[in-house]
């Protein structure tokens, strides 16, 4: 069980999956910068947060629900949790719904966030949650997400890795990937191109010196013979 002070924000798992350096810059060094994508995402969630809850007979919707898991060490907010009750007013199903500004992605970055929410909800309500949904604003539709063993294992593994990085207090060096780095809100802070090129230059220099020293050693050995 985790202490309240050691709980990781669920959003940090997304940052970690996107880039370990981004995760460390935000959650270890406390750095953040806005770009168009983060601002649009904030505006979308502000609209969601304006609604608190809705109820229709056996169907209930709760917006901006605070959640946490003391077992794996997570804390966060669900955009929307939909609850279906039995006629006896017992919970039949729970479905977390996450709102995203863009369209469905090729990676699991959104899926692990939703899965982390489900893990928290399962602990809170002591009920198995088989699936959730993501509403993509650009596509104007919901996408079902099944919480299978593969996704659950991946999500829990990312949580453990995030906790390791925080305990180690180490910010990884950047590795420049044009598609990821150019879309990152921390690009100007991270300077992946500059640092990566400097790393490459230093690496090349070290390799050249090693090769040079090896050649000197071989030459010296031949001359002594």
Q: How many domains does the chain have?
A: 1
CATH code (residue 138):
3.90.320.10
**Are the CB atoms for 45 and 99 separated by under 8 Å?**
yes
In the chain the first and final C-alpha atoms are separated, in Å, by: 68
Helices (H) and strands (E) in the chain, counts: 8, 7
**221 vs 103, more confident:** 103
Do the domain assignments include residue 53? Answer: yes
Residue 211 near residue 194 (C-beta atoms within 8 A): no
Position 154 pLDDT exceeds 90:
yes
* Domain presence at residue 142: yes
Q: What is the mean pLDDT of residues 48-67?
A: 79
Report the pLDDT value the prediction gives residue 4, as an integer from 0 to 100: 87
- Mean pLDDT in the chain? 81
Alpha helices in the chain (DSSP H): 11-18, 20-27, 36-49, 109-125, 149-168, 178-183, 187-190, 192-224
In a domain, 22, yes or no: yes
Question: Please, which pLDDT band fits residue 178 given cuts at 50, 70 and 90?
Answer: confident
Model confidence at 191, pLDDT cuts 50, 70, 90, reads confident
Structure-block tokens of residue 189: 């802070």
Is 30 inside any structural domain?
Answer: yes
Q: Which range marks the domain in which residue 160 is found?
A: 4-172
114: in domain = yes
Q: Is the pLDDT of residue 45 over 60?
A: no
Averaging pLDDT over each range in 2-6, 51-55, 81-85, which range is the top one? 81-85
Q: Does 212 score more than 90 pLDDT?
A: no
pLDDT of residue 130: 97
Q: Is 19 exposed, middle or buried (0-12, 13-18, 19+ CB in 10 A)?
A: buried
Instruction: Dump pLDDT digits (tens) for 93-138.
Output: 999 999 998 888 888 999 999 999 999 999 999 999 999 999 998 8
Of 218 and 53, which is predicted with more confidence? 53
What would the two tokens of residue 173 be?
A: 């060096």
Q: Judge whether 205 lies within some domain.
A: no
Q: Which residues contact 28 (CB under 8 A, 6 or more apart)?
A: 165, 166, 169, 170, 171
Q: Is 126 part of any domain?
A: yes
* Residue 218 counted as domain residue: no
pLDDT in tens, 12-40: 999 999 898 899 899 888 876 554 444 44
Is the predicted pLDDT of residue 142 greater than 90, yes or no?
yes
Residue 179 has pLDDT above 50, yes or no: yes
Neighbours of 219 (CB within 10 A): 10
Distances (CA, A) of 213 to 151, 205, 206, 208, 210: 50, 12, 11, 9, 5
- What is the value of pTM for the model shown? 0.76
* Residue 140 CA neighbour count, 13 Å, CB half: 0
């Amino acid at each position: 069980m985790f202490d309240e002070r050691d709980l990781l924000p669920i959003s940090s798992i997304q940052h970690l999956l996107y880039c370990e350096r981004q995760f460390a810059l935000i959650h270890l060094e406390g750095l953040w910068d806005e770009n168009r994508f983060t601002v649009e995402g904030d505006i979308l969630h502000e609209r969601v947060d304006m609604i608190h809850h809705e109820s229709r007979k056996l169907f209930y919707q709760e917006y901006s629900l605070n959640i946490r898991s003391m077992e794996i060490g997570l804390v966060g907010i669900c955009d929307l949790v939909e609850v279906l009750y039995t006629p006896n007013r017992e919970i039949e199903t729970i479905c977390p719904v996450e709102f995203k500004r863009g369209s469905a992605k090729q990676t699991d970055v959104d899926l692990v966030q939703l899965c982390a929410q489900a893990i928290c909800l399962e602990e809170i309500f002591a009920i198995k949650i088989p699936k959730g949904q993501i509403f993509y604003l650009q596509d104007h539709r919901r996408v079902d997400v099944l919480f299978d063993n593969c996704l659950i294992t991946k999500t829990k593994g990312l949580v453990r890795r995030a906790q390791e990085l925080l305990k180690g207090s180490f910010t990884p060096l950047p590795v420049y990937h044009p598609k990821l780095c150019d879309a990152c809100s921390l690009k100007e802070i991270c300077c992946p191109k500059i640092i990566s090129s400097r790393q490459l230059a230093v690496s090349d220099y070290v390799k050249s010196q090693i090769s040079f020293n090896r050649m000197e050693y071989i030459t010296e050995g031949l001359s002594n013979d």
